[in-house]
């Protein structure tokens, strides 16, 4: 199986432009669609809208593939488009940030029925609910760092902010998460 993490940065610009756009976008969608959807969902907090945003992201990738400069990984470029598209949606529609994560996890729940599996999944759900209640500047850093496994420099590049700002927000986001999660557990 191909490793799509940095595809097509493995190609030089001439090869990229000579390659079939449809094949490249198809490969990128196969490799990144779930993460793009989850990143969009972390902003818009609605399944249908997150799907629309993800679709719009890949349409933009297709239209602007020739503008990809290769200065950063293709993953960072796609995440930047996802973040911008999500923020544009929120600005245009003045979307309210309410969430019901129970439905989000229906597709991800394991078919195992053991009590331990249920408790682990319940704890994960509580953790994600807590993450989604954080201010966006901390939430986006935590999502990119932990769920998308991006490095500090990649996050800084994706969000167009200083790497030290990413580190600060990561520490503060973790602290806020610990405080809020501790409070959720104590209820």
pLDDT band at 64 (very low <50, low <70, confident <90, very high): confident
| Angle at alpha carbon of residue 116, lines to 115 and 121, rounded to 5° | 100
Mean predicted lDDT score pLDDT of the chain: 77
Full-model pTM? 0.54
The length of the chain in residues reads 187
The pLDDT of residue 56 is: 93
| Predicted local confidence at residue 35, as pLDDT | 92
Separation of CA 38 from chain center: 5
How do residues 129-163 score in pLDDT, each as one tens digit?
A: 788 888 889 888 888 888 788 899 989 988 889 99
Q: Mind listing the pLDDT tens digit for each residue in 69-97?
A: 877 888 889 999 999 999 888 877 653 43
Higher pLDDT, 58 or 102: 58
Sequential DSSP letters for the chain:
----TTTTTTS-HHHHHHS-HHHHHHHHHHHHHHHHHHHHHHHH--HHHHHHHHHHHHHHHHHHGGG--SSS-HHHHHHHHHHHHHHHHHHHHT------HHHHTTTT--S---HHHHHHHHHHHHHHHHHHTS-HHHHHHHIIIIIS---HHHHHHHHTS-HHHHHHHHHHHHHHHHHHHHHHHH-
| 132 within 8 A of 44, measured Cβ to Cβ | no
């Amino acid at each position: 199986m191909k490793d799509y993490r940095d595809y097509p940065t493995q190609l030089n610009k001439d090869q990229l432009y000579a390659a079939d756009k449809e094949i490249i976008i198809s490969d990128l969608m196969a490799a990144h669609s779930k993460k793009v959807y989850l990143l969009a969902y972390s902003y818009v907090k609605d399944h249908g809208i997150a799907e629309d945003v993800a679709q719009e992201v890949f349409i933009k990738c297709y239209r602007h593939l020739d503008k990809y400069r290769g200065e950063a990984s293709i993953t960072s470029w796609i995440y930047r488009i996802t973040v911008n598209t999500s923020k544009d949606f929120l600005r245009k529609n003045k979307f309210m940030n309410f969430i019901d994560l129970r439905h989000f996890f229906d597709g991800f729940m394991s078919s195992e029925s053991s009590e331990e599996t249920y408790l682990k999944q319940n704890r994960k759900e509580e953790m994600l609910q807590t993450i989604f209640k954080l201010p966006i500047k901390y939430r986006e850093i935590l999502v990119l760092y932990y769920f998308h496994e991006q490095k500090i420099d990649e996050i800084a590049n994706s969000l167009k902010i200083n790497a030290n700002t990413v580190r600060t927000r990561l520490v503060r986001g973790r602290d806020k998460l610990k405080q809020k999660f501790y409070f959720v557990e104590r209820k």
